[in-house]
Structure 1
């Protein structure tokens, strides 16, 4: 099968080459998929895309007209794919649902520790030969209440880690995993109670129409003044405008994030020469109690190996006419 890999990153290409095992004819482009770059897929039966690619109705129609029949995502999230249109044109779509929950959960914890213990500030100071300890105070995680919204693969690992720190765990999920209750002394409750009682809140849910801007003005108003909010899931789970307002009022303690609601145009590229035009993102980055990383939670050797292998497992299933266990459809995601 001829495959075009969009948004190909230099660091992931070796993993993809190794996973392919010379079975498919693969080309790589650093360009993201959009209405203009879709034309590059001429002559390809399949494309592979990342979470920042545009697989909207218009783009999918173009891909179908060009003869593309398969779309293999290199991500768990698929909110960038208009599945209804994919089904309309007979495009088969599959994701990578379980590449490494540890990579994301561990990144969330790393961000929490770095922000809480002022690691970035301390590193910057000592590299300027300033060894004073002013403004470096944090707090113990032991004994704190951690609210975890979403206890699937990633959220359950987050619960395990925070339980290891000696934290009280509150959780919320549409489909609670009650096996976690005795394992981590976890209590399922409402999102509102999580907001009211938690010292730390971590988001681990996919983005849907129902939870768009889950963390909004009302939810932020419920939170403790010193709460640290962590988002390694999807940017639009948090209403950035209201988050900025809360940060300006000092009504929350800090924000750790690996994602942003409007990543297109700023993320996945080097903007150091020309800067960025997104005023809201600039404002967010101006706060000393905001730690933002460039959607890098998945970048571990283990995760990239699994992403590459599952990407080609999906393609192999389609090529061989076998059922693809990771195939997405309106029926499967709503079941």
Structure 2
């Protein structure tokens, strides 16, 4: 998949590259995602963000307009993402909910989400979409 990751810290660069193993086409940007920096997302399929990136409705609309259909947050929380707007525009959202919340674990979870999406599979408990799907892991998380 063609991916741009925003708000990347120096220590994350090597971890994401190692976890990726040259499978996905990753562009790593140290800038936060906003209307000015979203130019780096042109031609990409997925945007990866941090909890520091605020994805409000106007930004999500612009991402959709340039072809982004999937977003991964390198965090447990999704309060910084307008999930309702993403749902309206059919943009899939995933987080990194696994037990290992170390920088290495988050990098591995991010790449795992990309790999699952690249083969047309659900990301399981990492799914943050507001869809009422039949994914047992997601339904268990919502209960």
**Residues 196-246 of structure 1: per-residue CA shift (max 9 Å, x gap):** xxxxxxxxxxxxxxxxxxxxxxxxxxxxxxxxxxxxxxxxxxxxxxxxxxx
Partner Cα separation in structure 2 for residue 99 and residue 10 of structure 1? 23
Q: Any residues of structure 2 matched to 1:293-312 within 5 Å, and which? A: 303-312=102-111
Q: Any residues of structure 2 matched to 1:13-28 within 5 Å, and which? A: 13-28=13-28
What residue in structure 1 maps to residue 135 of structure 2?
none
Q: Determine whether 1:315 maps to 2:132.
A: no
Question: What is the DSSP-based 3-state SS (H/G/I as helix, E as strand, rest coil) of the residue aligned with 1:12?
Answer: helix
Question: What is the DSSP-based 3-state SS (H/G/I as helix, E as strand, rest coil) of the residue aligned with 1:328?
Answer: coil
Partner Cα separation in structure 2 for residue 313 and residue 100 of structure 1? 13
Q: Is the 8 A contact 1:5 1:27 kept in 2?
A: yes
> Against the structure 1 CA distance between its residues 77 and 304, is the aligned structure 2 distance closer, same or farther, given a 3 Å change threshold?
same
What residue in structure 2 maps to residue 69 of structure 1?
69
Question: What is the DSSP-based 3-state SS (H/G/I as helix, E as strand, rest coil) of the residue aligned with 1:3?
Answer: strand
Higher RCO (CA 8 Å, separation ≥ 6 residues): 2
Select the structure of larger CA radius of gyration. 1
Q: Is the 8 A contact 1:99 1:307 kept in 2?
A: no
Q: Is the 8 A contact 1:5 1:29 kept in 2?
A: yes
The TM-score with structure 1 as length reference comes to 0.39
Q: Any residues of structure 2 matched to 1:138-149 within 5 Å, and which? A: none
Question: What is the DSSP-based 3-state SS (H/G/I as helix, E as strand, rest coil) of the residue aligned with 1:16?
Answer: helix
Count of residue pairs brought into register by the alignment:
134
The TM-score with structure 2 as length reference comes to 0.88
What residue in structure 2 maps to residue 98 of structure 1?
98
What residue in structure 1 maps to residue 46 of structure 2?
46
Partner Cα separation in structure 2 for residue 99 and residue 27 of structure 1? 26
Partner Cα separation in structure 2 for residue 322 and residue 18 of structure 1? 22
CA apart distance, 1:334: 4.8
What residue in structure 2 maps to residue 9 of structure 1?
9
Partner Cα separation in structure 2 for residue 55 and residue 20 of structure 1? 25
Partner Cα separation in structure 2 for residue 20 and residue 78 of structure 1? 23
Q: Any residues of structure 2 matched to 1:284-299 within 5 Å, and which? A: none
Question: What is the DSSP-based 3-state SS (H/G/I as helix, E as strand, rest coil) of the residue aligned with 2:3?
Answer: strand
Q: Is the 8 A contact 1:39 1:66 kept in 2?
A: no
Unpaired runs of 5+ in structure 1?
102-302
Partner Cα separation in structure 2 for residue 63 and residue 99 of structure 1? 30
Unpaired runs of 5+ in structure 2?
133-137
Partner Cα separation in structure 2 for residue 83 and residue 8 of structure 1? 22
